[in-house]
Structure 1
Amino acid sequence: MHLDKFREQFLPGDAAGRSHRLDYVSRFERWDDLAGVRRKPRRSLETDADAELGLFFPPELYPVALHPLVAARGEATVRRLLLQRLYDYLAFTTELESIAVIPVATTISRGRSGLLLPEQMKADAFKIVTDEAWHAQFSDDFARQVAARTGCPPQSAADTPPAFLSRLDELRERLPASLRGVESLLFAIVSETLISGILSDIPRDGRLPRSVREVVRDHAEDEGRHHVYFRSLLKHLWSALTDRERRAVGPFFPAAIRAFLEPGYARAADHLAAAGLSVPQIDQVIAESWPAEVVRVDVAEAAAPLVRYLREAGVLDDARTHAAFESHGLIGAGPRDIAAVGAALPHTLKKEVTR
């Protein structure tokens, strides 16, 4: 088993027999001076006076906390939900890095990805491994600090898998058997090119404790370099695939995007249940907080940079792939229609739709 794991590739066959690119511009020349693991201190909630504010996550980014059925239960309930959302974010970061990104970056660094990549690109992948291990560790450490400071531990069990794992398993099962493994590359490209955008607003939110904003900012600064790396990896991957493989793989990008960006409904339901809501109330809160059309538009907006990169790489040239992106609402729609999205929300939430 262990020898098989050592030899396992994301793409089948001899990498040298595939088309490959030589171009690569590294963004890691000053990694020793810039990487968070090299220069950033441990962020401490224990010494953060702002932690007494009690608002641990932006409520606009967790709309279940704004729902009338939740608000009616009082400010303490809303604050507990937002605290649990912070725990979910920290746990998601730890699991994403440990399960989805570090194994991919490690395999690339050792030259076993199935791609023929420039030596500097493989060396930089090892720096990404180090960065991501640091992100996973400081997220876990900070969650422990939050629990100690607030006396309110995470509600979700440590063995509860994040939603993206089951979504990835479903994607893998739908791939041709000969290409199973490439979903790991697809998801790493998706997550690493989109996560920096997701993190951009939180460090500027003065309602949150200073240490929370610093933890997210530290993560975001490293991810800016990773974004550029995985954008380049996309080009190398696509040039290495045969035409047949491109036609097979391309339509799966939308599923990988949704696996990363779609809300974690099950985790939210657990938190609402812990807050005392009944099953019908939970169903109502989730349905009205995340209407399908709102989620579709939000995913399309968040994915727009990656869709542009995919178009530039030629991924959307195939008609079947183009149709898959259209069917998921990732292309072909106009700018976000605030009025239309607001109409999908309950009256008391419409004022929150401001983006």
Structure 2
Amino acid sequence: MHRNNLSAILYGINDLRLEETEVGKPNDNEVLLKMACIGICGSDVHYLTKGKIGDFILEKPMIIGHESSGTVIEIGRNVRNLEIGDRVAVEPGIPCRFCKYCKQGRYNLCRDMEFCATPPINGSLRRFYKHAADFCHKLQENVSLEEGALAEPLSVGVHACKRAGITIGSNVLILGAGPVGLLTLLVAKALGAKTVILSDLNQHRLSLAEKMGADATYVVDKHSSETENVKNIRICFNEPPDVTIDASGAEDSIRLSILVTRAGGVVVIVGMGAPEVRIPLMDALVREVDIRGVFRYVNDYSDALDLISTKKADVRAIVTHRYKLEETLEAFETAKSSQSGAIKVMIYCE
């Protein structure tokens, strides 16, 4: 059967094209999906505008997209966890399953990870896509396909909050009110955090944070000193936060996260910026502030989908724009524009 497989292929910097690609048959452990929804991630935009992220460099054309959901239309002969017609969220990273990290349950650290839309691995922004069946998560009946696609960035928030040790009564500061920061807010609240405050340079994003349940927000003043920002944020809490999660990756924000957190507290860095930054390390050492990194997620998809299914995380709140697959180029223009007000741009393949 001939299938039209319109795909979004990144050829180089600001060179994104819609072209037909081969569908292919799923192997014994894969399923073929009719794609439904794909969200545009900041990393997708970064590859489009810069052609690389750190050591991952676009050297040949690559199909873009990794925040996705779809419906199973073919299954490999060894697949037992899914059936034709199942709606699934696609966990985009496929580890080797055999190395030390995979065996220990930390497969996000697998050195042989194949992650959608990370060069040279093709992504999922196309009409049909095949994926490892064990990394396709069946959606509960009350979870939409759009919500299924949003399970990917929500899983980042789940992993960040687990790494932070957020629990009942935690006071949490989140720096950066982009998609991950906003979704981390939902997870922190679901875990029982007493106070969650978001900080950003952008009042528009902080207004959405307030609608999504933030207890307070703080607009970082570029003209204020670092010391003044630390003092002002602490006033918002009446005491320093127990946990600070940096979802921006900016050096100023990482510095602020360390300085503002209480002695003995935890700083979790989610946002990825420059390869090297200057931080107040001595301040962290003498106050025993733990600094923890986050790389994607691991064993978090089921928790993310449970949060969506039980209505503890209204992920749809971050979607500001929706486009058809045929409008992908326009969708990316919106996503990369600082004037569009976009937070999460969603592309519908159906």
| TM-score band w.r.t. shorter chain | under 0.3
Point out which structure has higher relative CO (alpha carbons under 8 A, 6+ apart): 1
Structure with greater helix percent: 1
Structure 2 length-normalised TM: 0.25
